[in-house]
Amino acid sequence: MSLLVTGSIGIDTVRTPFGYNKDCVGGSAIHFTMGAGLFTDVKFLGVVGEDCPFNLKELFGSRNVDLAGLEVRKGSKTFRWSGSYEGDMNSAHTEAVELNVLAEQPPQVPESYQNVGYVFLANTAPSLQMKLLDQLGSPSFVAADTMNLWITTAKEDLRELLDRIDMLIINEGEAKLLTGHRNLVTTAKAILEMGPRVVIIKKGEHGSMMMTAEGDCFLLPAYPTTVVIDPTGAGDSFAGGLMGYLASVGRVDVISLRNAMVYGTVVASYTIGDFSVYGIRNATRAMVDDRFDQLRKYTQF
């Protein structure tokens, strides 16, 4: 089934213990699409300024990405983010943000994007996520991400959004902030009570956890890679691999959800292997399937 992503496209500048990468391509929709595009076609919805130096068609290469929803806005500037990672690189330190075009009107949804089956609303203001959702007809499965900022400044909007989506993908710290709980299982259950029927809590190098309203619980370690160069985009490419796989199989049962989470984990392991999208860009479905099988071997008993 068709998959739509809406999120940011950014000009990133990143420093990690392994190097410095200035003005590289980034943003949630970019990292998501690099992952999802390994599994299925992606309808891309986002906006950049006229200063955007990236050729997204070239960037996505052999991935089948519909860019009808990419708006290049005259007189506007592209979103920019600068950040750094230290030590174990488990959290980013934001050094500068220029929202630019992201602070303006969202992109228009093309008619050809109506009646899409699977939707991922990458992290942005929940009110904006809902406005975008309003324009998308009745998708069969909607997932969203969120962050601290909205949990603390737009909690009512976020609660309204949670009641309208099927799955929330969220970081551990943010999940605990949202619910006020400290125990991960209690946290996951509290989020399910807020509306979504699936919650996935990401724990970075410690893996991820899924709980569903039907009572399924799935625990997955991260893929044990020794090559961690730049964690930027790991969460978005995790969501991309996950949603891409779900859309490719066209069903959201327990087995598909578990496999999707494994694919998300594996995709993220390629993303963090280099700066920007250089790690995931050259990954193939065969490479992803290889790590999927490896991760099964690493976890079965």
Taking the C-alpha atoms of residue 1 and residue 249, their distance in angstroms, rounded to an integer, is 8
Least separation in angstroms between CB 217 and a second copy = 5
Which residues from 199-228 bind a second copy, rule CB under 8 A?
A: 203, 205-207, 209, 217-221, 224-226, 228
Which residues from 242-281 bind a second copy, rule CB under 8 A?
A: 255, 258-259, 261-262
79 vs 263 by CB, closer to a second copy: 263
Query: x/- site string to a second copy, residues 122 to 161, per CB under 8 A?
Result: ----------------------------------------
Among 75, 87, 180, 215, binds a second copy (CB under 8 A): 87
Tell whether residue 300 is a contact of a second copy (CB under 8 A): yes
| Residue at token pair 């949670």 | 162
108 vs 148 by CB, closer to a second copy: 148
Chain center to CA of 157: 20
Least separation in angstroms between CB 88 and a second copy = 5
88 vs 163 by CB, closer to a second copy: 88
- From the number of C-beta atoms within 10 Å of its C-beta (0-12, 13-18, 19+), residue 237 rates as buried
**Residue 176 burial (CB count, 10 A):** 19
Chain center to CA of 108: 21
- Rounded to 5 degrees, φ, ψ at 32 are -60, -50
165 vs 234 by CB, closer to a second copy: 234
The 3-state DSSP class for residue 249 equals helix
Provide the H-helix boundaries in the chain. 28-36, 56-60, 126-134, 148-153, 155-162, 172-179, 184-192, 234-249, 254-271, 278-281, 285-299
User: Roughly what angle, to the nearest 10 degrees, separates helices 184-192 and 172-179?
Assistant: 60
Query: x/- site string to a second copy, residues 163 to 202, per CB under 8 A?
Result: -------------------xxxxx----------------
Least separation in angstroms between CB 287 and a second copy = 18
Size of the site for a second copy (CB under 8 A): 31
Least separation in angstroms between CB 169 and a second copy = 18
Least separation in angstroms between CB 298 and a second copy = 5
Query: x/- site string to a second copy, residues 56 to 75, per CB under 8 A?
Result: --------------------
Least separation in angstroms between CB 226 and a second copy = 5
- Rounded to 5 degrees, φ, ψ at 231 are -75, -5
Tell whether residue 18 is a contact of a second copy (CB under 8 A): no
How wide is the angle at C-alpha 262 spanned by C-alphas 260 and 265, nearest 5°?
110
Pairing of strands 208-212, 217-220: antiparallel
Q: DSSP letter for 110, please.
A: P
Tell whether residue 289 is a contact of a second copy (CB under 8 A): no
| Residues at the site binding a second copy, with contacts judged by CB under 8 A | 87-88, 182-186, 203, 205-207, 209, 217-221, 224-226, 228, 255, 258-259, 261-262, 296, 298-301
